[in-house]
Amino acid sequence: MNRTLVRSIVCELSYAVTVAVQNDLELARKRRSGRTYSDYLVNWGVEVATDLTVSESATVNPTGLWAPLSPLSPVFTLTGGVSGASVATNDNTFNVFYPLSALYKPDLFRTNNQERPCRHPSTGQQGSPLVDIDLRILPLLESRIQLVTIGLADSPDDDRNIIAGEKNVLTQTVSIKETISGDISPTWKFSTGTVNPAGTFLSANRMRTHQVVFTFGRLARGGQSLSSLAQAFHVNEQLRAGLRETRFAPR
């Protein structure tokens, strides 16, 4: 499941980057100036930090009621029970980096089609149900492009904005939680007693809690990591999100 989740997240990133650029190119053809405003994304990258946790628990609690066979109204009965529980937790954390130019795939995605065929290519499914929610990556990218388009901000590629601060870094934190639980309560009746006359015999619970931190920013020299400013924001967002093992960006 975690492998499917990771594939789905990367696919969602690729979809968002591609559609954001393609939408800008389509609008540029309608502008009198023909100008595009998403060019700076070529020099940007994204780092993704994830904390994938799966917790499973099970409880067994059988009970019994015994009474003598002969008396019509027994004055003595015996009730007993045994209980047991187990808990298992699986944690996976990782931090990955992608230049946005590597995520741009115009042959795979279309602006008028929301399908993401790269999520699960073996079956054609949309991928992990945990990311079938809207991760809001596309609106995040387009919001920065729109600020440049309407003149409320300069292009991040402008040298005057290299150290301008927060407006050259975009961050998004997503928390995903899924819980599945169930129980069974069978009862067995015999002439001298009853097994599990009341209560839950067996219960099980499975909970997935995933946190994903996305940080978009300008590439450092060499294009193998984010700039120091963007890396600082990335670490800070992980701390704010409460990721147990905050990972520093690769250098």
DSSP 5-18: HHHHHHHHHHHHHH
The pTM for the full model equals 0.70
Provide φ and ψ at 186, rounded to 5°.
-75, 155
Neighbours of 174 (CB within 10 A): 19
**Tokens 């219960």 -> residue:** 203
Residue pair 238/246 in contact (Cβ under 8 Å)? The answer is yes
Residue 246 lies in a domain: no
pLDDT in tens, 4-18: 677 778 888 998 999
Q: Domain of residue 222: give its range.
A: 2-241
Helix (H) or strand (E) holding 40: none
Mean pLDDT of the chain: 73
* Residue 248 maps to a domain: no
How far is residue 121 from each of residues 6, 48, 117, 132, 202, measured CA to CA in Å? 14, 22, 6, 16, 38
- Judged by DSSP in three states, 68 sits in coil
Farthest CA pair distance, the chain: 100
* 250 within a domain of the structure (yes/no): no
Confidence at residue 134, expressed as pLDDT on a 0 to 100 scale: 64
Structural domains in the chain (count): 1
pLDDT in tens, 71-95: 555 555 556 556 666 666 666 777 8
Residue 11 CA to residue 224 CA, distance in Å, equals 20
247 in a structural domain: no
The pLDDT of residue 249: 42
Give the contacts of 57 (CB within 8 A, at least 6 positions apart): 85, 86, 87, 88, 204, 205
Q: Please answer whether residues 182 and 204 qualify as being in contact, where contact means their C-beta atoms are separated by less than 8 angstroms.
A: yes
Instruction: Scan for tokens 């015994």, then name that residue.
Output: 66
The pLDDT, as a whole number, for residue 21 is 92
Q: Domain for residue 97, yes or no?
A: yes
